[in-house]
Amino acid sequence: MATRINKYLSEVGYCSRRAADRLIEKGKVTINGKIPEMGSEVEEGDQVEVEGQRIEKSTKQKNIYLAFNKPVGIVCTTDRRVERDNIIDFIKYHTRIFPIGRLDKLSEGLIFLTNDGDIVNKILRARNNHEKEYIVCVNRQINKDFIQSMTNGVEILDTITKNCFVKQLGPKKFKIILTQGLNRQIRRMCESLGYRVQSLKRVRIMNIKLDVPTGKYREFTKEELLKLNRLLKNSSKTFD
């Protein structure tokens, strides 16, 4: 049975479909020695390579799901040649995994890592309305107008951010729960209102809370994974 090349790379645990599409666009993937077009399919017996490395399906691949507390300074990339302070070299996990989504270099907190490419888009797609919770400190005192503006939406990146939950926790500290994932969204929202983020920590993704020390990771519990799959059941599926 033929499988689209991006789905193939996802199913073997090499990377997410989104990351696979980027590799294909850059011409780094070959099927039987030829660079494929987007949407090309892999047949039984085809030889798939990424940057010259043979990629094969494992007959019994165990799905891995990790909750990692990313420190400030670590970059959420699997490209180890480009970024020395990358998340993969920091964790040194014994088999190939990749992050679900991103936290920028100056941010810290919860990020998932997995070898299950099919789960990635279901978690990341904004229309699925999956919550991500952050604790943020800014450079000067916040007020009701700031909280109201953040809640109702701020103009960034040629769009208005979706309504979200925001609660003040201190003079310069607040909690925000997003179902969106725009590039550096919270930092850009604050900058649009004349504030600068001094610290940003993600403390929850959907039903899984941050509960490990900085720089450490743990596997999802069976209960967490069951609940996560229930929450994802009605989510938009990844591309076929």
Answer for the pair 178, 185: CB distance below 8 angstroms, yes or no. yes
Domain locations in the chain as residue ranges: 3-55, 65-124+211-232, 131-205
Q: How far apart are CA 37 and CA 54, in angstroms?
A: 18
Half-sphere exposure of 114 (CA within 13 A, CB side): 19
- The class level of CATH for 131-205 reads alpha beta
Answer for the pair 97, 66: CB distance below 8 angstroms, yes or no. yes
**CA distances in angstroms from 7 to 120, 126, 130, listed in the order given:** 12, 21, 23
Give the SS3 label for residue 88. helix
User: Is-catalytic flag, 104?
Assistant: yes
CATH architecture of the region 65-124+211-232:
2-Layer Sandwich (3.30)
pLDDT, position 206: 93
Q: How far apart are CA 201 and CA 33, in angstroms?
A: 44
Residue ranges of alpha helices (H) inside 77-207 are 87-91, 120-124, 144-152, 185-192
- Profile the chain (240 residues) by mean pLDDT over runs of 10 residues: 86 81 92 91 89 74 91 90 88 90 94 87 70 97 97 96 97 96 94 98 96 97 92 61
Q: Kindly report the pTM of this predicted structure.
A: 0.78
Rounded to a whole number, what is the largest CA-CA distance in the chain? 62
pLDDT, position 124: 73
Q: How far apart are CA 50 and CA 29, in angstroms?
A: 5
Q: How far apart are CA 222 and CA 139, in angstroms?
A: 40
Q: How far apart are CA 87 and CA 98, in angstroms?
A: 9
At 8, list the tokens. Answer: 């193939």
Residue ranges of alpha helices (H) inside the chain are 5-11, 17-25, 87-91, 120-124, 144-152, 185-192, 222-232
Fold of 3-55: 3.10.290
Asked if 65-124+211-232 and 131-205 have one fold, the answer is yes
pLDDT, position 205: 95
- Pairing type for strands 108-114 and 197-205 reads parallel
Give the SS3 label for residue 12. coil
pLDDT, position 56: 77
Q: Which of 104, 158, 211, 240 is catalytic?
A: 104
